[in-house]
Structure 1
Amino acid sequence: MTTTFAVVGIHGYGKQHLHQIGQLAAEGRARLVAVVDPRGTDGAAHVPPGTPAFGDLSELLAETVPDVVTFATPIHTHLPLAAQAMRAGAHVLLEKPTTASLPELRELIAVADETGKSVQVGFQSFGSHAFDRIAEITASGRIGEITGIGGIGLWRRARSYYDRSPWAGMRRLDGLEVVDGVVTNPLAHSIASALRIAGARRAEDVAEVVVDLFHANDIEADDTSAVRLRTTSGMPIALGLTLAAEEPHTTPRVFVHGTAGSIEFRYTSDVLIVRAGGGEKTEEVQRTSLFENLLDHLQHGIALLADVRDTGAFMRVLEAVRTAPDPAPIAAEHQEIVGEGPESYRVVRGVDDWCRKVSEELATFTELSAPWTAAPAAAHAPASAPQHTHGVRA
């Protein structure tokens, strides 16, 4: 059985969508019938020659309705475009974050229920077999009782990353919510993976969210942030994330802390490192492609790995970021600019170690008194309610 696909947004991450569909096409399971992008296909050598191209989704749907439409488009377009595709009769694969707000997520789920269409969300780490393996290890008692889950994301983004599109690094654009920060987009997989390990999938599985938002770059959104969570089961989670790292090539990691050891999950490479009993063991696990899983779901009824409904817990975090006060700027004395022009980048001094402390001590930058969190005396808020810290409690 061959499933037809169309890809909306081909000049960014949509390249990966086309690659995945190409692999499935080679197996006879998928067929690309169209691409959609207002910029056209100029310079898009990754689009197979002869593929019909449209300027917008309405043009495509007036011509044909594929079985699946995939979206690699700006965050604030996710809900309207996905809803349009489902109401026309297509299933959807939508890049993360799912939508630009928790109310929008609820609306998207309502459309999926109304139309009976499936929505897979592009949290690629959800395809990792590591989650089942972590569950096996923790159930065995090998690392003792779980005391919490931590995470570290140390990446770096140049000025060109924020210049690539009008919505990059923005919280709002033309009156619309965008919420494009380190927590909600580039290192969103860290948050989502930690929540999945903790068994939190739906919005109601999260009891508390505290976000600690800062930016070194000249942007609206956050690029250096800590997030502290508590699930309804009582599991504490905390992650330190930055796009202004000192050592930017470190693989993002999620840690399961136990009374007798720990598990380190490197979700970009599907590697587990188990430390227990005075020893260390590394395991590499497999991953199921979300595209392959979607086809198995449509053709054989297999459950979706990243069902839109199971992104509610992550969207509780996005909502906390969205409704928080604007991120606080990191003073020049705590950072440096390296290089010039579009490829120049910011580095926050000491940020790598502070992110590790967040992960280990399960507390935010402000709670740990990281140096850039101290506000000027005239604007200093009470310690119990820093201006840049925002908690959402169930």
Structure 2
Amino acid sequence: MSLPKVAVVGVHGHGGSHLRTVADLEAKGLARLSAVVDPREPDDAPASWFASLGDLLSADADALPDVVVLATPIHTHLPLARAAMEAGIDVLLEKPTAASLAEHAELVAVAERTGRLCQVGFQTFGSHALPAVVDMIARGEVGRVTGIGAVGTWVRTAAYWARSPWAGRRRMGDRAVVDGVVTNPLAHAVATALWVGGARTSTDLAYVNTDLWRANPIEADDTSSLRAVGTDGTRYGFGLTLCAAERSPARVIVQGTEGEIELEYEHDLVRLRTGRVVAEKQYERTGLLENLLLARSSGERLLCDVRDTGAFMQVLDAVRTAADPAPIGDAFVEWVDGGGAGPGGGPGGDGAVGHGAVGQGNPEGDARHPVVHDVAAWCERAAREQRTFTELGAPWTTLG
């Protein structure tokens, strides 16, 4: 039997990781790369190149892939995934799922109408740590759950916000983009916390409160807190920033009456702390493309079916429809270079350019970034107390 053919759409930037994944699967005899799609032809393309998905879909039938991986801008997710599924092709769609809850509903409808598989690229959903945490909760390891939080304190440089025309935008013309901390870089923190709490669909959340801020000169949020409450009463708190002094592992925290569970989802690492035990274990992870291929061949359940991202999309829609993020006052922000504290000035200023923050999700280029004073501590409180920065009285929220 011939190997499933995989095409990767959007091969520059993050798309390169998908090319490496397909290469690994090809080495295992599970798939083969049949095409790469990008407006800009890559040097030494590893497979046949097409400038657009439309060009690929209109090619000879022999050129059509079995699966497409879509690593494209957020506002293109719906039209490209719809075109692929209507052509009879299964889809691995990068997160976030779409640019609005309405677009998500349309994607689900297309998947159901065409019978195609649509997996969303929340990589943490493939972690074996997630069901392990859910099992700990069900066994009562931490008693009654009092709240679930997510803390993300990352660093994004000026080069990150200059990486593409849609970076840091809330909208482009009449199209929603919603490229902020909650909905893109730290979307995994939000989605993973909701998954652990059992929130899958949009109807699993009763409401979402947003508190959106920005230290960068962008449209979108880079420092935000949220509170969500599930229809089952579960309380969720999120403290997220791209303006930390240094990057730390993002965490999901399950608090209970008898202890807590901490999940470092980037490393599949779980820590259990109770009055009786302190334990730590690292888990394995199943790749989402490999899982999609198994779902095609053997009917295995998708780990991140598009239908199971509705709760996250409810949060995204709350961010999308909220008031534009408020700027954080200069008194609470210090601009530093990539290697540490510098003379400030922000993008376009005269501060030194370093490279300590390059990597870790940042492209090469201008390595300056803002640091919001004590933001890591405020993010921790927002997650643990399920209260927003404004409710907590974070200093940048009290001065207009």
Provide the rounded CA distance (Å) in 1 between the counterparts of 2:108 and 2:55: 25
Of 59-68 and 259-268, the range deviating more from structure 2? 59-68
Match of 2:58 in 1: 62
> 1:150 offset after TM fit, Å?
1.0
Equivalent residue of 1:78, what SS?
Answer: helix
Question: What per-residue deviation string (whole Å, max 9, x for no partner) do you get for residues 276-297 of structure 1?
Answer: 1254211111111101110110
Partner of 1:344 in structure 2?
Answer: 368
Contact kept, 8 Å, 1:228 with 1:238, in 2: the verdict is yes
Alpha-carbon distance between aligned partners in 2 of 1:134 and 1:317, rounded to the nearest angstrom: 22
1:16, CA displacement in angstroms? 1.1
Alpha-carbon distance between aligned partners in 1 of 2:135 and 2:95, rounded to the nearest angstrom: 28
Within the candidate set 291, 306, 314, 2:304 is matched to 306
Provide the aligned length of Structure 1 versus Structure 2.
370
SS of the equivalent of 2:58 reads helix
Unaligned runs of 5+ in 2: 338-350, 354-365
Deviation at residue 375 of structure 1 after TM alignment: 4.3
Identity percentage of aligned residues: 53
After superposition, give the CA deviation of every residue in 1:334-393 in whole Å (9 maximum; x if it has no partner). Answer: 0011133511110000101000111121111011010111242xxxxxxxxxxxxxxxxx
Displacement of 1:239 in angstroms is 0.9
Q: CA deviation at 1:19?
A: 1.0
Shift of residue 134 of structure 1? 1.0
Aligned to 1:52: 48
Task: Give 1:281-320 correspondences, 5 Å limit.
Answer: 281-320=279-318
Where 2:226 maps in the other structure, the secondary structure is strand
Q: Deviations over 1:164-215 (max 9, x none)?
A: 1000000011331100000000000000000001101011111110111000
Determine if the alignment matches structure 1 residue 370 to structure 2 residue 380: no
- In the other structure, the counterpart of 2:135 is 136
Task: Report the Cα distance in structure 2 between the residues aligned to 1:73 and 1:24, rounded to whole angstroms.
Answer: 21
For residues 375 and 283 of structure 1, what CA distance do their matches in structure 2 show? 44
8 A contact 1:96–1:123 mirrored in 2: yes
**CA displacement 1:73-131 (0-9 Å, x = unmatched):** 00000000111111111111000000000000111111111111110000000001112
Alpha carbons 1:247, 1:352 under 8 Å: kept: no
State the secondary structure of the residue aligned to 1:73. coil
**Alignment partners' CA distance in 2, 1:65 and 1:103:** 29
Q: Distance in 2 between matches of 1:375 and 1:94?
A: 41
Given that residues 226 and 239 in structure 1 are in contact (C-alpha distance below 8 angstroms), is that contact kept between their aligned partners in structure 2?
yes
Structure-2 residue corresponding to 1:356:
380
Q: What's the C-alpha RMSD, in Å, of the aligned pairs?
A: 1.1
Q: Which runs of 4+ in 1 moved over 4 A?
A: none
Matched, 1:115 2:114: yes
Contact 1:148 1:362 in 2 (8 A): yes
1:30-54 CA distance string (max 9 Å, x none): 0111000001113xx6x42xx1001
Q: Counterpart in 1 of 2:267? A: 269
